[in-house]
Amino acid sequence: MKFEVIEKGKKKRWIIGSIAVIGLISIGIYAGSYAKYQNIEDIKLVEGNINYKPYDFKMMAMYKSDDGTNYTEIDKTPRSNYKINEEKSYCTLNNVDKDNSARIYTDRFGHHVFNNLSKNSKCYIWFDKNTEVVNTVLGNIEVNNYIPDFSEAATTDEGIFEYKGSDYSEGNKPIYYYRGDINNNWLVYGRDNEKYIWWRIIRTNSNGSIRVIYAGTSNSLTVSPNPKSEGTQIGSSSFNSNRSDNMYVGLKYTSGNTHGKTNNSTIIETINKWYEDLINNNKINSTYIDNRAGFCGDRTNNVSTSLAPMVNSGGGIGNIITHYGSKYRNEIKKEPTLSCFNKDDIYNIPVGLITADELAITGAVWLYKNPNHWLNTNQAYWTMSPVSFDYNVNNIAMAYVSAMFENGVLSSNNVKNSWGIRPVINLSSEIKISKGKGTINDPYIVSE
């Protein structure tokens, strides 16, 4: 056996080279193993690539629960009927310590707020149901625990809300109203020529009665009238046959008296005839109608450009340019109300019209298209809320009352124009619901 002696210089180079090769192989094996578990990927840039880990971009983890105990992970922020659990939720900058400067909460309008987040914040958010179940004449209903933002149109099904205030029906019960693109407020009450009369629930009143608006007739209890058609109206009419005086903004009016109720408007005459036909021909049971709940045609007003309504501003008479309370609340402030500021503007009658404020709390916004609003019928129809008395560009005197336009636009209209009529009645708190869940295929049925 022959042994070859390696020269000293060559031997040194051979050893170093061997170590380098082994080192490179080891690094390759480690890098391959590390990549397998770290799942490093490439992002294509304008020129070149960068390495990243997918979870580097997961800046927020979200979970929601319907019972406050069992949470499931979610991919999108839930609607306002869920609220952030401030006790459980937190942000961190180092995956260990909480960032106490971060503010995470749900405000009173149901908006989810994230404030004072840092560049590298990672947040863990828990959401709880923001509703409660309450008992009403309709049975148990789920009600949201926050106040919606009335400056924003309700384009989706936002559900049922409690109104944080009082109305003019002189009760002390909570008021609940339906907002947005909802489909659980259908009710059947009465028969007209063998057809069922359908209604939709606007809200409850503080005396426990239920305010409903006419929605048409149908041969079936499971097939509703078309909610986007003329069938939702009993016909059309001008609000008043004259427009040249402030008094013509009233559902009832008196010459020279801002809040007078001596004469009937053109539209109330039409509504009364329709209602008398229902009663006289036993199409509805009149004992179920609540006359005490009333209707408000608010004529508080101002003659100044500030528009803020006053009880005694000197307006609302003759040809004085006047701006009424509904214009200020719904066009300017976006703060609708169910109160009636002057008792002489309350009409204790069995049938009336919806108000601009009721359209606003249920999801309409002044001059904003909202075809998804449940009160949009693709038809133009009257409310009973005065807007203004003014002169047009041709110096012609015009009395204006608010109306629901096509595509769900809340605005004003000249009282002489002929538009749709959708009567509103108040059903007694003593009614009995025989069956139904309020949906379009399973409406609430009022026992006769």
DSSP letters for 201-238: EEEE-TTS-EEEEEEEEES-SSSPPPTTSGGGSS-EEE
Condensed to tens digits (0 to 9), the pLDDT of residues 116-144 reads 988 888 999 999 999 999 999 999 999 99
For residue 41, what pLDDT is reported?
47
For 10, how many CA atoms within 13 A lie in the half-sphere containing its CB?
4
Locus of tokens 């002044």: 366
Please answer whether residues 421 and 237 qualify as being in contact, where contact means their C-beta atoms are separated by less than 8 angstroms.
Answer: yes
Q: Give the pTM.
A: 0.82
How far apart are alpha carbons 109 and 150 in whole angstroms? 9
pLDDT in tens, 253-291: 999 999 999 999 999 999 999 999 999 999 999 999 999
Q: Residue 370 in contact with residue 172, Cβ under 8 Å?
A: no
Q: What is the per-residue DSSP string for 266-308? A: HHHHHHHHHHHHHHHTTSS-GGGB-SSS-EE----EESSTT--
> In order along the chain (448 residues), what is the average pLDDT of each group of 10 residues?
42 47 45 41 46 55 92 91 93 90 90 89 93 93 94 96 93 96 97 95 97 97 94 98 96 96 98 97 94 95 71 82 93 95 95 98 98 98 97 92 97 97 97 94 93
pLDDT, residue 120, reads 84
Contact between 447 and 435 (Cβ < 8 Å): no
